[in-house]
Amino acid sequence: MALTRRRLLEGAAVGTAGLVVGGVAGKALNEGDGGGGGGGGTTNLGGKAQEVINARKLAAEDVTRAVQSFVPPGRGDMDDFYLISSGGHSGQLLVMGVPSMRILKMIGVFTPEAWQGHGFGSDSSEPVILAGTDAKNKRTSPSRGPLTWADTHHPALSETNGEYDGRYAYINDRANGRIAMIDLRDFKTKQILDVPNLESSHGGCFVTPNSEYVHISTMTPTLVDDSDIDKALDNFSKVFRGFSTFLAINPKNGRFDLDRSFQIELPPYTQDLADCGKGESEGYAFINSYNSEMATGGNLEGKESLEIGASKNDYDMLHIINWKKAEEVAKAGKTKQLNGMRVIPLDVAAAEGVLYLAPEPRSPHGVDVAPNGAYMTVAGKLDPHVTVYSMAKVLKAIESKDFEKQDQYGVNILKFDSVVAGRVELGAGPLHTQYDDKGYGYTSLFIESAVAKWSLGEPYHSGDKAFKLVDKLAINYNIGHLCTMEGDTMKPAGKYLVALNKWSIDRFPNVGTLKPQNFQLVDLTGEKMELISDTPIGMAEPHYVQAIRRDRLKGWEVYPPGTNPLTMEKDPDAIELGKEKIERKGNMVEVWASVKRSSFKPDIIRAKLGDKILLHLTNVETAPDATHGFAIPRYNIECSLDAGEVTNVEFTADVKGTFAFYCTEFCSALHLEMQGWLLVS
């Protein structure tokens, strides 16, 4: 921590120096910065541009940065990439543009979000959130549930042939072992799954190269035997287990298909980051672990704290999983049923060659597979090196049974020297690695607050050019994850890198004691990395992002008329204009209403206290952006209806009075008149 603080202070000093340099702005600009050889476009600026540069005391490099990331009004198409970002503790997903770094949308996922009417009474969102808590199989507080927040960590985009296909995004909940599915046709959440046997999950979220499965694994191991909870931590190695989950994806709609899904039981080593094999390593998956000591803490009970107990061994264990083999083993029925999930028991996984272990420097964090699948880079938080494993060596070692020994669960451990291709010393606190299109890795250095650029081996770089540190860039401050454009795929685009920084301290205007996170955009087009911009994220701590080329996403402009977003099909209760009606059956009042600029029809709904009310609302608009809202005061109901959308709202009229329901989107000049009455007598 002392080291971190010192680095931060050094960083702050550099920042101040930067401001002073800014004072001699215009001069540097006139010398012609060019900004990466664009043909000298910045040297002959017109009068006003130069006046602004002088008045704002901008240096030439500032102007270059501004031009690199500026998007002119009306030119949204100049953002070449979307960032699909974790929304951190907000429980949501962020969509941003690159290089502008503008936040385009916050998608409601695990947490109710009022603008989108997500979780406020609409049948296209509330059931999604409610179904996201499995109160039967998993321990959830009855008085505090259902769960309405999540610590969103790892977005994972669907892939075809190892490239993003722009169809679906998945994101896990670190806190509760859940995962959500977002359809990228309408950028809305369609499903939240409370994954059986997972009490937490961290970075174990990825999609296989042809979207067969989305993977999610435990972080804190799960208690599998609750017969003596007082002694559970003393019997940790016996009563806790990790789980690697392969959730089958329905190819038609992107949803989880539990019947075809399976889990692999793992030793309780605290599995952490995971990545999927591809190319040379297709069919395999890799998961780090950082507590093979199986320490449990207990610092007030006379035991070591977890941070000491979990850092004793020189090595932790890289898990190497043959998921294609696991698929066969599951198909052959060599599974047990556990809370609605097929589970391959640990001894079966070890015996069938589903699971192998390889030593990795202690307390590792990231494991990241290179674009060609030939290398897996592991960064140990307490080791200044990254360790690069060779898939060819792993396969050879498995084939020749070149094992060091077995662990206490009977899992074969490969020899470190037999599977490592190279090690590169990068700096203090390496965490995560991303790749570009030229055979370089970019590793975040948390303690040093920097990004290190280094070279991979064959076929990218050979001889003494391989596995070398080539550049380093200071980051502000405390970088966690980082993301290169399409860097998780078989065909990274390079160009930019986004650093997700935990601390921003002096980078933004003061907004009180809780500071925004800082997303820093870095230019990767030259030999040396160059910082382009800082972007404050003032709504939680995003954990990880993926970047996808803009042209891969084909979002709908409007829904086909009468679409229910939950099914993405025509809702049976969709209506056309003129078909509005109210029917009463017993104590049920059923309403088919049209919604358009600038009226609801019907605009008066009459009910008796205690009646059930079922509203079918159809937005009959066909113009893009013609969204209406529907809110009933005091009933906690708020829906968003995009053009063509249908939503159904069911509630009990249990408060007497007159309630002026209204449209919550400023849709037209007569938006205020878009109002009606619910009378409950």
Tokens 């080791």, located at residue:
383
Is residue 667 near ligand CUA by the rule CB under 6 A?
A: yes
Least distance to ligand CUA, CB of residue 556, Å? 20
Is residue 663 near ligand CUA by the rule CB under 6 A?
A: yes
Tokens 């081996």, located at residue:
457
Contact between 497 and 547 (Cβ < 8 Å): no
Which of 184, 209, 207, 180 has its CA nearest to residue 195? 180
How far lies 659's CA from each of 394, 602, 642, 655, 680, in Å? 67, 14, 23, 10, 8
- Residue 624's SS3 state is coil
Question: From residue 537 to residue 576, what is the string marking binding to ligand CUA with x (rule CB under 6 A)?
Answer: ----------------------------------------
Least distance to ligand CUA, CB of residue 665, Å? 5
Specify the pairing of strand 103-107 against strand 152-160.
unpaired
Q: Which is nearer to ligand CUA, 125 or 640 (CB)?
A: 640
Name residue 243's amino acid. Answer: F
Q: Which is nearer to ligand CUA, 3 or 672 (CB)?
A: 672
Contact between 216 and 201 (Cβ < 8 Å): yes
- What is the rounded CA–CA span in Å between residue 639 and residue 118? 7
Contact between 491 and 437 (Cβ < 8 Å): yes
Q: Which stretch binds ligand CUA (CB under 6 A): 83-91, 130-138, 520-528, 663-671?
A: 663-671
- Residue 16's SS3 state is helix
Q: What residues have CB less than 8 Å from 125, skipping those under 6 apart?
A: 108, 116, 117, 118, 119, 188, 189
Q: Which is nearer to ligand CUA, 171 or 663 (CB)?
A: 663
Is residue 601 near ligand CUA by the rule CB under 6 A?
A: no
Find the angle CA(305)-CA(306)-CA(309) to the nearest 5 degrees. 90
- What is the rounded CA–CA span in Å between residue 670 and residue 470? 61
- What is the rounded CA–CA span in Å between residue 267 and residue 407? 9
Least distance to ligand CUA, CB of residue 622, Å? 15
Is residue 343 near ligand CUA by the rule CB under 6 A?
A: no
Q: Which is nearer to ligand CUA, 320 or 667 (CB)?
A: 667
Least distance to ligand CUA, CB of residue 623, Å? 12
Q: Which is nearer to ligand CUA, 243 or 559 (CB)?
A: 559
Least distance to ligand CUA, CB of residue 593, Å? 13
φ, ψ of residue 574 to 5 degrees: the values are -65, 145
Tokens 């936040």, located at residue:
103
Least distance to ligand CUA, CB of residue 624, Å? 15
- What is the rounded CA–CA span in Å between residue 619 and residue 560? 11
Is residue 631 near ligand CUA by the rule CB under 6 A?
A: no
Q: Which is nearer to ligand CUA, 93 or 617 (CB)?
A: 617
State both tokens at 314.
């020189």
Q: Which is nearer to ligand CUA, 198 or 667 (CB)?
A: 667
Task: Choose, by CB under 6 A, the member of 547, 620, 674, 680 that binds ligand CUA.
Answer: 674
Least distance to ligand CUA, CB of residue 601, Å? 13
Q: Which is nearer to ligand CUA, 166 or 676 (CB)?
A: 676
Q: Which stretch binds ligand CUA (CB under 6 A): 22-30, 237-245, 280-288, 661-669?
A: 661-669
Q: Which is nearer to ligand CUA, 445 or 649 (CB)?
A: 649
State both tokens at 540.
């939680």
Q: Which is nearer to ligand CUA, 610 or 624 (CB)?
A: 624
Task: Choose, by CB under 6 A, the member of 587, 671, 675, 679 that binds ligand CUA.
Answer: 671
Which of 478, 442, 321 has its CA nearest to residue 370? 442
Q: Which is nearer to ligand CUA, 7 or 628 (CB)?
A: 628
Q: Is the peptide bond before 496 cis (omega within 30 degrees of 0)?
A: no
Name residue 642's amino acid. Answer: D
Least distance to ligand CUA, CB of residue 644, Å? 14
Name residue 607's amino acid. Answer: A
Task: Choose, by CB under 6 A, the member of 628, 632, 661, 680 that binds ligand CUA.
Answer: 628
Q: Which is nearer to ligand CUA, 663 or 678 (CB)?
A: 663
Contact between 265 and 345 (Cβ < 8 Å): yes
Least distance to ligand CUA, CB of residue 111, Å? 25
- Residue 28's SS3 state is helix
Beta bridge partners of 479: 501
Q: For ligand CUA, how many residues bind (rule: CB under 6 A)?
A: 7
Is residue 666 near ligand CUA by the rule CB under 6 A?
A: yes
Q: Which is nearer to ligand CUA, 573 or 621 (CB)?
A: 621
Task: Choose, by CB under 6 A, the member of 665, 675, 677, 679 that binds ligand CUA.
Answer: 665
Q: With 0-12 CB in 10 A as exposed, 13-18 as middle and 19+ as buried, what is 462?
A: exposed
Contact between 184 and 212 (Cβ < 8 Å): no
Least distance to ligand CUA, CB of residue 671, Å? 3
Least distance to ligand CUA, CB of residue 557, Å? 18
- What is the rounded CA–CA span in Å between residue 51 and residue 252? 56
Q: Which residues from 419-478 bind ligand CUA, rule CB under 6 A?
A: none
Name residue 380's amino acid. Answer: G
Least distance to ligand CUA, CB of residue 643, Å? 11
State both tokens at 82.
């979307």
Q: Which stretch binds ligand CUA (CB under 6 A): 71-79, 112-120, 545-553, 667-675?
A: 667-675
- Residue 21's SS3 state is helix
Least distance to ligand CUA, CB of residue 558, Å? 15
Q: Which is nearer to ligand CUA, 583 or 673 (CB)?
A: 673
**Residue ranges binding ligand CUA (CB under 6 A):** 628, 663, 665-667, 671, 674
